[in-house]
Amino acid sequence: MTDLPQDSRGRVAELHVIRAEAHDGPSERATEAQHAKGKLSVRERIDLLLDEGSFREVGTLRRHRASGFGLEAKRPHTDGVVTGWGRVHGRTVFVYAHDFRIFGGALGEAHAAKIHKIMDMAIAAGAPLISLNDGAGARIQEGVAALAGYGGIFQRNTRASGVIPQISVMLGPCAGGAAYSPALTDFTFMVRETSQMFITGPDVVQAVTGAEVSQNGLGGADVHAGTSGVAHFAYDDEESCLEEVRYLLSMLPANNRENPPVAESTDVADRRCEALLDLVPVDGNRPYDMHRVIEEIVDDGEMLEVHEHWATNIVCALARMDGRVVGIVANQPQSLAGVLDIEASEKAARFVQMCDAFNIPIVTFLDVPGFLPGVDQEHGGIIRHGAKLLYAYCNATVPRISLVLRKAYGGAYIVMDSQSIGADVTYAWPTNEIAVMGAEGAANVIFRKQIAAADDPDEMRQHMVKEYKSELMHPYYAAERGLVEDVIDPAETRQVLISSLAMLTSKHADLPSRKHGNPPQ
């Protein structure tokens, strides 16, 4: 550093010059290169994420102390990551954002220390943490010190889990061990074409397996949003992605000691939903779109679906009812008839756990014919994976309401928050069929001898199916035995659910004293 000015005004002027240099980044050329890739600069991203003028940066003047491989001659301020806090919709959040223009956003010792600091501040303040990821992984020149930096991030991700919301926004590459931090957070956003995540890159994959694949083909947004389930949301550009992050934050509490923010609703709480009478066919073999059912019930038809493109046979979404946030889990008859399989069980289980961690009531809509049969499912561990959803529901202490729209068969009925596993209130529509299995399958098992001995087996089978339905599958069978609280008019669904949620607002439930459970993996 040059000789310091000898008066306060001179030193303040010098401070402003240094801060301006740190704010602008390494060079205009580096910024242009970032824009040429279709990516925003780190400051542009933070400006889009946070309320205008609310960002307070920390660690602006931090520089690395490493030497060797030419590092001692290149010591830019910020060390490639911008950290600080600001507001989203007037509520405090903490953020760290990689600056790809500096060392490719690679993580070194000082870089990691800044992230550790802001994560500790977020946990202490009880406020959400958002990471804007655009980095090339560990800074190889710093060796094991960089790897230790990642270890500190993972440890804090785990400590913050279920305590404050953690959101990872992928805006560039995220390779190797760095990908495990987003995997530990509550939500992961990705941008198509510009963001990728993978443990081993295309070159290594080709060298080891011989398979040729592009970066996007290996770990792009659509791959992780639709195939692997690693990404919860995928968008076409950074602007819409960051706007949706803001929307998600508006539906989450600051921490696990608070309830989600309540919004003033203009949608009448006791509004009748006459359209529901036509949306859901009585015939259990006819599909329909569960999205339309949910949109008819929630405030203004608005919901934020999580994992929209993965495990589409189940819908998980955040929405509001009378201004209060609820988590919705629903079978989707348009996809695999709404059965539960390995991926659907995992998707719903994680969503239920998130809702329970952050005091979000859970409403479950059932139309489920059972678990998906097949050798692949059994060998893939459907028992183990299905148990994840069962465990998540049984462990949840938030208000829980379930509604049977149509089919609710066998073990899948039990797993989907039935009264027997702790749902606080359970309802059914007059179209419900709650049973061990479908009438055709049940008749074939129970009356197989009579059917086989009959002069006309087909006629006898149909007679026995009709008898089984009339005895054990009529719409009021479960209500008569206290397995549902009431059979309700579908048009009254919204007002019944809102009234029940209001009753459960002060629910308090304690789990047994323990270090932690041992959920199925």
What angle, rounded to 10 degrees, do the helices at 382-395 and 342-357 form?
20
Categorize the per-residue pLDDT at 365 as very low, low, confident or very high, splitting at 50, 70 and 90.
very high
Region of 350 on the Ramachandran plot (φ > 0 left; ψ -120 to 50 alpha; else beta): alpha
d(CA 482, CA 469): 19
Class of residue 438 by CB neighbours under 10 A (exposed 0-12, middle 13-18, buried 19+): buried
Reduced to 3 states, what is the DSSP secondary structure of residue 393? helix
Q: In the predicted model, what is the mean pLDDT of residues 414-443?
A: 87
For residues 377 and 244, membership in a common domain is answered with no
Q: In the predicted model, what is the mean pLDDT of residues 199-210?
A: 87
Q: In the predicted model, what is the mean pLDDT of residues 364-385?
A: 96
Per-residue model confidence (pLDDT) at position 28:
86
Domain CATH code at residue 137: 3.90.226.10
Question: Tokens 């070159």 correspond to what residue?
Answer: 203
pLDDT in tens, 304-357: 999 999 999 999 999 999 999 999 999 999 999 999 999 999 999 999 999 999
Q: Is 280 a member of any domain? A: yes
Per-residue model confidence (pLDDT) at position 428:
96
Per-residue model confidence (pLDDT) at position 2:
60
> Among residues 251, 265, 248, which one has the least CA distance to residue 359?
251
- Which of 190, 219, 251 corresponds to the end of one domain? 251
For residues 170 and 222, membership in a common domain is answered with yes
For residues 56 and 139, membership in a common domain is answered with yes
Residue 448 has pLDDT above 80, yes or no: no
Q: Is 24 a member of any domain? A: yes
Of 126, 143, 162, 177, the active-site residue reads: 177
Whole domain around residue 458: which residue ranges? 438-474
Q: In the predicted model, what is the mean pLDDT of residues 177-183?
A: 90
For residues 16 and 141, membership in a common domain is answered with yes
Residue 74 has pLDDT above 90, yes or no: no
Q: Is 512 a member of any domain? A: no
Q: Annotated catalytic, 176? A: yes
Q: Annotated catalytic, 411? A: yes
Q: In the predicted model, what is the mean pLDDT of residues 482-508?
A: 96
For residues 51 and 105, membership in a common domain is answered with yes
Residue 440 has pLDDT above 80, yes or no: no
Strands (DSSP E) along 40-134, which ranges? Answer: 56-58, 81-88, 91-98, 129-133
d(CA 119, CA 83): 10
Number of domains in the chain: 3
Q: Is 311 a member of any domain? A: yes
Q: Is 513 a member of any domain? A: no
* 321 within 8 A of 498, measured Cβ to Cβ: yes
Q: Which residues contact 178 (CB under 8 A, 6 or more apart)?
A: 107, 133, 135, 137, 138, 150
Q: Whole-number mean pLDDT of the chain?
A: 91
pLDDT in tens, 208-247: 888 889 989 999 999 999 999 999 999 999 999 999 999 9
* 341 within 8 A of 364, measured Cβ to Cβ: no
Residue 105 has pLDDT above 80, yes or no: no
For residues 311 and 293, membership in a common domain is answered with yes
For residues 404 and 487, membership in a common domain is answered with yes
Q: In the predicted model, what is the mean pLDDT of residues 392-416?
A: 96
Question: Tokens 């074939």 correspond to what residue?
Answer: 444
d(CA 512, CA 323): 32
> Among residues 349, 356, 294, 298, which one has the least CA distance to residue 322?
298
Per-residue model confidence (pLDDT) at position 477:
84
For residues 287 and 142, membership in a common domain is answered with no
H helices of 250-333, in order, are: 276-279, 290-297
> Which tokens in the block code for residue 229?
């389930």
Count of Cβ atoms closer than 10 Å to residue 157 Cβ: 21
d(CA 372, CA 349): 17
CA distances from 30 to 36, 73, 99 (A): 10, 18, 10
For residues 194 and 286, membership in a common domain is answered with no
pTM exceeds 0.85: yes
Per-residue model confidence (pLDDT) at position 1:
54
Reduced to 3 states, what is the DSSP secondary structure of residue 242? helix
> Which tokens in the block code for residue 446?
């129970």
Q: Is 260 a member of any domain? A: no
Give the amino acid at 249: L
Q: Which residues contact 301 (CB under 8 A, 6 or more apart)?
A: 295
φ, ψ of residue 168 in degrees (nearest 5): -105, 130
pLDDT in tens, 266-286: 999 999 999 999 999 998 889
- b/e map 502-517, b = 16+ CB within 10 Å: eeeeeeeeeeeeeeee
Of 104, 126, 143, 176, the active-site residue reads: 176
Q: Is 202 a member of any domain? A: yes
For residues 289 and 351, membership in a common domain is answered with yes
Question: Tokens 């404050």 correspond to what residue?
Answer: 164
For residues 170 and 201, membership in a common domain is answered with yes
Of 110, 136, 175, 412, the active-site residue reads: 412
Q: Annotated catalytic, 207? A: no
Radius of gyration of the chain (CA): 27
Reduced to 3 states, what is the DSSP secondary structure of residue 173? strand
* 107 within 8 A of 100, measured Cβ to Cβ: no
Q: Annotated catalytic, 177? A: yes
For residues 90 and 12, membership in a common domain is answered with yes
Categorize the per-residue pLDDT at 134 as very low, low, confident or very high, splitting at 50, 70 and 90.
very high
Q: Is 267 a member of any domain? A: no
Reduced to 3 states, what is the DSSP secondary structure of residue 462? helix
Of 143, 411, 422, 441, the active-site residue reads: 411
Q: In the predicted model, what is the mean pLDDT of residues 189-196?
A: 95
